Amino acid sequence: MRAVLQRVTQASCTVDGNITGQIGTGFLVLLGIEDADNSEDIDWLAQKIVNMRVFADENDLMNKALADINGDILLVSQFTLFASTKKGNRPGFTKAARPDVAIPLYEKMVEKLSQLLGKRVETGIFGADMKISLLNDGPVTILIDTKDKE
């Protein structure tokens, strides 16, 4: 499982002209899921996301987590995070999980993040053609891969 966290002051996801999710200050999380991922990956990654201390404290140092600032999460599925670019110029996506595997894991991640954050997590629509709008704060962008736990 791979996640790209972008610290934002606002973000939204639109599908067919309708806003499916929007947040103020917090994280836009782009989530890629592969066949090898499981609930242990969800638990580990969700903890990392909600406890990542990249928000400014009173001394303008990155010491605060989402809960400390009452921040939000917009979670968007993104299979292209598992693009293989080794050969040629057209990426391959064979490492990305198919929808029958990815959708239940994505839904479990939404539940887990909501539980840890203590509030609703905003989302895109799995598999849809989504338009993402964001105001990256910093910019601060962090890549987390559950295969790099150790």
Nearest to 19 by CA among 109, 112, 133: 133
How far apart, in whole angstroms, are the C-alpha atoms of residue 36 and residue 38? 7
Task: For residue 80, indicate whether it is catalytic.
Answer: yes
Q: Residues 51-71, buried b or exposed e (16+ Cβ, 10 A)?
A: ebebbeeeeeeeebebeeeeb
Of 25, 80, 85, 146, which is the active-site residue?
A: 80
DSSP annotation of 121: P
The answer to whether 132 touches 28, Cβ cutoff 8 Å, is yes
Nearest to 45 by CA among 30, 61, 26: 30
How far apart, in whole angstroms, are the C-alpha atoms of residue 98 and residue 51? 29
**Which residues are known catalytic residues?**
80
